[in-house]
Homo-oligomer: A and B are copies of this chain.
Amino acid sequence: MAQVRNKQVILKNYVSGFPKESDMNIIDSTITLKLPEGSHDVLLKNLYLSCDPYMRTLMTNPKYSFNPRSYTLQSPINGIGVSKVLESGDQNYKEGDLVWGITNWEEYSLVSAAQIHFKIEHTDDVPLSYYTGILGMPGMTAYAGFFEVGKPKKGENVFVSAASGAVGQLVGQFAKLIGCHVVGSAGSKEKVDLLKNKFGYDEAINYKEEHDLNAALKKYFPEGIDIYFENVGGKTLDAVLLNMRIHGRIPVCGMISQYNLNQHEGVTNLAHLIYKRIRMEGFVVANFYHLYNKFLEFVLPHIREGKVVYVEDIAEGLENGPAALVGIFNGRNVGKQVLVVARE
């Protein structure tokens, strides 16, 4: 059986501080496009790969990382992707199925069926790449974090950081759908414009130009914040804690501002958790995938009616993968960063 080229993005060295493109390498490997005899695995052709902040935590030397799942040096990195099944040794999948789940950053991957999260019932009125974003992990993250962890009520005041990102842009729109007052922060004029003009945020803060975030939050939330959807951590969290309202909630989705720091910034205002009786709750989307079908029933009609929109930042080709991934830690992406490996 002939082998074909299998381009890969591999991790060259463990990362400390901000990741650089040179921490990864593009190599040409080969693969036999045939399932090994008796295998129960699934052979995938990768189409769209997702660039997500949590991936940084897997680039740290496992000796210094809390996370036992660190990437393996000289092996392809992995993440969420949309793939087509070429051959399956698992009865749940068959040739031609579209799926999303954990796959490797390469053209073709042989994965355990357990790595596949869901089969995609694709319809042509939504882009297939959306299954790396609004219809996939980030979408479920926004939905579960806002509704299940945040437990919002109509009319409440909601603040979202990294508000134009893969998750943030949805949290803001979901909050508007149920009648909340929503303010977001992002790191450029372009993103702030998107927040107000595209995602329907009531107000938006460019945190890079705002020298006194505490004062800005006081201005936009004179009565305080009921829900802070936490994506960044550090100084933003500290300013938010001063502005929370009694019985406020902080779903902790991510702390992207901290992932590249060898010593995390100290958060000093945690005593406000007591003064305001705040619930601050970390969550990971994997605990909420049982709600996925319910989520699709909720979000698909909104997409089709144009009531929820989604902005993607598309990079083309595995060779541009390292730049795309590194870019999300510098805020270079506008909207969800997707990497196209192949279009079916």
Q: Which residues of A contact B (CB under 8 A)?
A: 66-67, 233, 237, 242, 252-255, 258-259, 263-284, 287
Name A255's closest neighbour in chain B (CB-CB).
B271
Q: Are B283 and A274 in contact (CB under 8 A)?
A: yes
- Secondary structure type dominating chain A contacts: loop
Contact, CB under 8 Å: A233 / B270:
yes
Which listed residue, B233, B280, B287, touches A280 by the CB 8 Å rule?
Answer: B280
User: Do the beta carbons of B268 and A264 come within 8 Å of each other?
Assistant: yes
**Min C-beta distance of A236 to chain B, whole Å:** 12
Q: Which residues of B lie under 8 Å from residue A273 when comparing CB positions?
A: 252, 280-282
Nearest 3 interchain pairs by C-beta: A266-B266, A273-B282, A274-B282
The answer on a CB contact under 8 Å between B255 and A274 is yes
A282 to chain B: closest residue by CB: B273
Cα distance A177–B253 in the bound complex, in angstroms: 35
- List residues of chain B with CB within 8 A of the CB of A278: 281-282
Evaluate contact between A270 and B237: CB separation under 8 angstroms.
Answer: yes
Q: How far is the CA of A263 from the CA of B266 in the complex (A)?
A: 11
Partner of A233 from B66, B237, B271, B287 at Cβ < 8 Å: B271
B280 and A274 contacting across the interface, CB-CB below 8 Å: no
With a CB–CB cut-off of 8 A, which chain B residues contact A283? 274, 277
Compute how far the CA of A280 lies from the CA of B265 in the bound complex, rounded to whole angstroms: 19
Determine whether the beta carbon of B237 is less than 8 Å from that of A253. no
Cβ distance A216 to chain B, nearest Cβ, rounded Å: 18
